[in-house]
Amino acid sequence: MRFGVVVFPGSNCDADCYHVIDKVLAEPVEYLWHGDRDLKEVDCVILPGGFSYGDYLRVGAIARFSPVMEKVLEHAAEGGLVIGICNGFQILTEVGLLPGALVKNPSLKFQCHNTRLRVERNDLPFTSLYKKKEIVEIPIAHGEGSFVADEETLGLLEKENRVVFRYCDENGEITGIANPNGSLNNIAGICNEKGNVLGMMPHPERCAEEMLGGLDGEILFRSLAGWRQGGDVA
C-alpha cells in the first residue's frame, strides 16, 4: 500500500503522519503538494491535521479549492482510499466527500486530551484490525470538532451504518459526559457510502508508538497497510 500525505500551507500533522507510515509501519509514503495536480500514484491519500490556510474564512473552506483536491475527488470517485484527520475531516466535509460539518466546540476552547472511542465498524479498510465495538483511546486536539448535520443526513448516516467511531465511556456506553465536543450522536468519525473515504476528528497518528501514549491508533494504519489492494470495500 502506497500512502500520500497532502501538504497544504498550514498543515502541521503532515510530518507526523509521514513519520508513522515511514518509520513505524515502514510502508512507502510520499508528500503531495497542495499546488500539484499529482497524487504520485498512491493508493491511500491522507489529509492531515493542522490549520490549512490558517483556517481563514472557515475551517477547510479554502483548502477544498486547492489543485490537489481535484485529484483527490477523482481518486475517491474511483474507489481510492482517502482519510481525513482533524483538519482533514473538516476539508472532506467542505469538499463534499463527507456530509455534515464541524463547528466550534461548545466550550469555545481548543481541547487537547485523550478520548475513548467505540469502533462501530470493522469491515472497512481503515478499521479491519480492530474488534467490533472495541473501545480504544485516541486523543483529540481541535477547537472546531463538534459534528453537526441536519436530521435527514444524520438519519441516513445511522441507517447506512456510516458512523465509524463514536465517543464513549469506559464501558463503551455512548453518554453525554463522554462526548467532549457536543458532536451529534457522539460522532467522532464517519465514512462515505462506499466506505473508501473516512473522516475523523481524533488523531490516530498520535498513538502509534508505545512511548507516546499507546498503540490504539497504530491499528488503523496497520489495517490500511494490510488491506488487500483493489480489495472489496464493504
Partner 1 sequence: MKKEFWRKMGLSEEEYGMIKGILGREPNEVELGIFGVMWSEHCSYKNSKAVLRSFPTTGERVVQGPGENAGVLDIGDGQGVVFKIESHNHPSAIEPYQGAATGVGGIIRDIFTMGARPIASLNSLRFGSLKSKRSRYLFSGVVAGIAGYGNCIGIPTIGGEVYFHPSYEENCLVNAMCIGLIDIKDIAKGVAQGPGNPVLVVGAKTGRDGIHGATFASEELNEKSEEKRPAVQVGDPFMEKLLLEACLELIKTGYVVGMQDMGAAGLTSSSSEMASRAGTGMEMDIAKVPRRETGMTPYEIMLSESQERMLVVAKSGAEKAVQDIFAKWGLEAVVIGKVTDDGYLTVKEGDEVAARIPAKALTEMCPVYAKEAKKPEYLIKAQEYDLSTLPELGDYGQVIMTLLGTGNIASKEWVYRQYDYMVGLNTVVGPGSDAAVLRIKGTNKGIAATTDCNARYVYLDPYQGGQIAVAEAARNLVCAGALPLGVTDCLNFGNPEKPEIFWQFKEAAAGISEACRTLDTPVTGGNVSFYNETKGESIYPTPVIGMVGLLEDISRVMTMGFKDEDDIIILLGESKDELGGTAYLSVIHGLEAGKPPSIDLEAERIIQRTTLALIKEGLVKSAHDCAEGGLSIALAECCMAGGIGADVVLSEEMKASSLLFAESQSRIIVTAHKEKMDKVLSRLSINKVPYKVLGNVGGEDLKITGSGWKVRLAVCDMEEKYRGAIACYMDM
Helix/strand/coil (H, E, C) string of 36-97?
CCCCCCCCEEEECCECHHHHCCCCCCCHHHCHHHHHHHHHHHCCCEEEEECHHHHHHHHHCC
Using CB under 8 A as the binding rule, the residues of this chain from 45 to 84 that contact partner 1 are 49-51, 53-56
Q: 147-186 mask for partner 1 (x: CB under 8 A)?
A: ----------------------------------------
d(CA 95, CA 14): 19
Q: Which residues are catalytic?
A: 86, 203, 205
Q: In the set 26, 57, 78, 113, which binds partner 1 (CB under 8 A)?
A: 113
Assess 12 for contact with partner 1 (CB under 8 A): yes
Which residues does 18 contact at the CB level (< 8 Å), separation at least 6? 5, 29, 31
| Burial grade of 97 (CB within 10 A; 0-12, 13-18, 19 or more) | buried
Assess 144 for contact with partner 1 (CB under 8 A): no
Closer CB to partner 1, residue 182 or residue 234?
Answer: 182
Closer CB to partner 1, residue 12 or residue 153?
Answer: 12
Shortest Å, Cβ 54 to partner 1: 3
Which element (helix H / strand E) includes 7?
strand 3-7
Assess 31 for contact with partner 1 (CB under 8 A): no
Helices and strands (H, E) in the chain, number of each type: 5, 11
Closer CB to partner 1, residue 20 or residue 191?
Answer: 20
Crossing angle, helix 87-95 and helix 67-77, to 10 degrees?
80
Shortest Å, Cβ 73 to partner 1: 23
Q: In the set 139, 145, 195, 204, which binds partner 1 (CB under 8 A)?
A: 139
Burial pattern 119-157, b for ≥16 Cβ within 10 A else e, equals bbbbebbbbbbbeeebbbebbbbbbbbbbebeeeebeeb
Q: In the set 4, 60, 143, 202, which binds partner 1 (CB under 8 A)?
A: 143
Assess 141 for contact with partner 1 (CB under 8 A): yes
**Strand, coil or helix: 203:** coil
Shortest Å, Cβ 162 to partner 1: 28
Residues that bind partner 1 (CB under 8 A): 9-10, 12-13, 15-16, 19-20, 23, 49-51, 53-56, 109-113, 139, 141, 143, 203, 205-206, 209, 211-213
